Structures are given as C-alpha cells and as structure tokens.
Chain A
Amino acid sequence: MPILVKTHSSQQTPEWAIIELQGDLEVRSNQDMHDQFIGDLSYNKYGQPILIIGHHILQGREQKLDKPFAVLEKSKTNEGQQLLANVDATLDATTLNTTGAERTLLDNTVALEHKSRQRTEYTVRAICTKKLIFKSRPKPIIANVAKSV
C-alpha cells in the first residue's frame, strides 16, 4: 500500500532555512540542551552571515541549494512501521532476489494486509531552497585584552 506524502499548494508551504555547520554542536556537560541558547546570527551589509556561538565567530555565506529539500513530517500513528527508517533493511531483502511469481504474489498479499492497518502518512511541512553554510574554521573571540594605556 503506498504511503501518501501530502502537500499543500505553494502558498501554504512555507520556506524554511538550513544552517549548515561543519562538524557538530557539542556541549561539554551532559546538560539537557532543549530550548537552550545556541548563538547569534547576524548579517553584514553585504549579506554575509556571521554566526557567534559562545566565544567563537563563524563567517559563512548564503547559498542556493542545487537540490532543494522538502521537510517531511510523519503523521503520528502508533500502528504501522516507519517506512523510511526501513530503507536500509529492505535493501538486503531485495538483493536476495528470490525469483518468480511466488515472491511478487507474497509481496502483494502482504501489501493488501497492510492496507487495513497501516495509516502512516507524511506531510510536506516546508521547502528549503537556500542555506547558510559555515565552512571556515571558527575564530576565537578574545574579549578582555588589556587596554593599552
């Protein structure tokens, strides 16, 4: 049974942004990071994004994505498998290629079974066509330099 990916017309599909950082954002302690402040994003007058995280400053640039992203959200259901998560698992199964009609028939009956209970759906929440990419190494900010007298 196909899994529907619902879309809305372009007016209702907002444009979201992606900020691409090299590497990971990590915190030293095992602190819960939900809702915690990450950093300030500013732009200079030429449109270059500047991101300040802690005492690091990153300079990036705005880039159009060659291949835009769709943000898919899975509808909350208790039943049904999460299909996308199974992509890799199904890979092995198909390379085995047990031949003939027997297999397709089986797949089909399985598909028919699923019809009754699988209710997984995805919705395209947003489209991303641009990203801010920070490729360069973060530079440290040294704040308390003794003022020369």
Chain B
Amino acid sequence: MILKGIILYCVSQIETERSVSAVYYIITGKRSIQTVQDMHIYQLKNFFGIDTNIDKSDYDQLIQACEAEQLLIKVDDEKQLYRISRQGERWLVKENDQLYLNLFKGAQYGANSHTYFDRLRLLIQTLTNSKMGYFQFIPVIENKDVENWVKRNYSAIKPVTNQFLSKLYEELLQVLHRFPVEVAEMFVDRLTGYKSYGKSINQLAKQHNRSTKTVHLIITGFLHFLIDIVMKEEPFPILRFIAKDLTSSVYLTNTAQITHQFLHNGNTIQEIANERNLKVNTIYDHIVEIALYDSDFSIENYVSKADQQEIIEAFYQTNSYRLKTIKDFVDNRISYFQIRLVLAVLQNEVESNGSIS
C-alpha cells in the first residue's frame, strides 16, 4: 500500500515528462546519471533507493493495477507515460495518514539505515543477555561488519551496561513519541532482548494487517526519520553514537568522482575522455552529476553567463523540465549538455532556498 502511495506521488511529480520506469529506477536506487538527475529535478530524493528489491515485473503489475483502479491514467502506451487521475489524487489525500510518506529520506540515509538498525538490534540483544549472564543466545544479526562493530564497542559499554540501557531507553522513549503509534509498536516488537525474540516481518504484517512489503517500507521510513532526528538534535548521544561513521555518504557515482578529480587537476573534457577511454558524452554526464551535488562547482567554464540566463528564462517561460521543450525554445548554439548543467544548478538553488519562483 505504501509502495502504491509512493508510486502515485512520484508520478504526480514527474507528470508526463518521464516514463514510469524513471520512478522505478528512483525507488530501487539506480545509480545512473539520468536517475540521479531525475530525483533532483522532480524533488523525489526522499524516495531514492528505499526498496532495492522490487522486481521490475512486480512494479509493472502494480502500475497496471493502479491503472485498473483508475488511479493512474495511461497517456502514451509506447513511451509508457502516465499521469495521476483525480481519483488518484483523492486516494493520496484520503490515505495520507497511513502512508507515512514524510518519513522517508532515501537519498540521505537510504544506503545505511538498515545497518544502523542491525547495529542497534545486535547491541541491545548483546547487552541485555550479558546483563543476565546469558551468553548462549543466537544472534539476530548475521553480518560480520555489524558483529565487529558491536565487539569493538562492547568492552567499553559493558561496565556501564545498566546506565547505558536506561539512557538508551530514555532516548528511544523520547524519539518514538514523534512517530505514529503503529510505527513505534513495529519498531519495539522487532527488537530482541533477553529471552524475548523480536517478531519477524511476517508476524508484524499479520499483527498490523499490513503486507510484508509495507512493513518493510515502514521500518525503512522509520529509520530514515529516526537517524535524521538524532543527527540534527542534541539530546540523543547514544542513538547518534550508533550512527557514527555511517551517515557520511557521498552520492557521486565512482566514475563521476574520478572525473571530478581530473577536473580538479585542470584537465579538459577531451583530455579526460582520452585518458579514461570514455566518450565525451559520458564525461558530460559526470559533470552534470557533479553540478547536482557540489553547490560550489562553477559551471561558467561550460556555459557563459548570458547563455545561462537564456536557459533560465526558457525554463520559466515553458515551465517544464523537459530538455527537448527547453532546447526548442532557446538559440540553436546552446547544447543539451548546457541546458542540463543549468537545470542542475537551478535545482541546487531550489534546494537551498526552498521552492521555485
């Protein structure tokens, strides 16, 4: 259900400018330049990579189901363009309280939020069991990195286990109050303590009358929001400590990072392409990606001030992110690459200032 809500919302954002596959790539977190740019342009960063396990065929079925329920309307079969219907919009409003769409912060915390949860769960299981002198428990988490993280911290925490647990309890109590009751319940039931094993996703789904996919998404959203709170607000030292060295994520694709380094060293686009044995167009893609993330990145080497102005004018006139529309509007000498760069910078400004206009 939540996935359905997310899809409807995303489609309503991109309107008919992209195919529904673009939404699929955002949700599954495809690390391509096109997808990264899409999520910025259409302000769908929060849903980036929130579920990397959906099959394309399942996704397509869901789209068809939405169409059958007349929540989505197919505009162009060949290009797979859809728009949200009135009914779809009403559905989003009506179900809003159950969709928890505001919890997600995919681009920011997506990659590491489940590791955060794994650390937290294994830490709680370890501390409560060791407090009771029971060392034969079967760990809930089977991830070597997480195991090592707990091991590294265990000896320091062990002497103050009681204080640590009560402090953790207070922090969780305080932060959980900001979530809907259903979400807080799911989180607590998922925890494993001493002789009290956490519930499986399946059990939570039955208990709350949700699908397993939805429970998974709720927990994902919960973690994004939780990490966001504890990183931004003061009184959560323990919950923040668990996030340490997890949140510093860089979203540039590897290959774009290498290009960034070359640019930094003063190489030209052509030189980089030759050196790396890549097409010039690929390097263009990298530069657009860099411009999206790095607000200090200057695009003046690639687009003159005057041309920038012309593209911005065109954007406001056409009120479209569609490259072709803008291209038709501006002078011929301006390339697609230049339009994309300007849109990327514009996007950056939008994000730091709030909204467009």
Partners in one complex: no
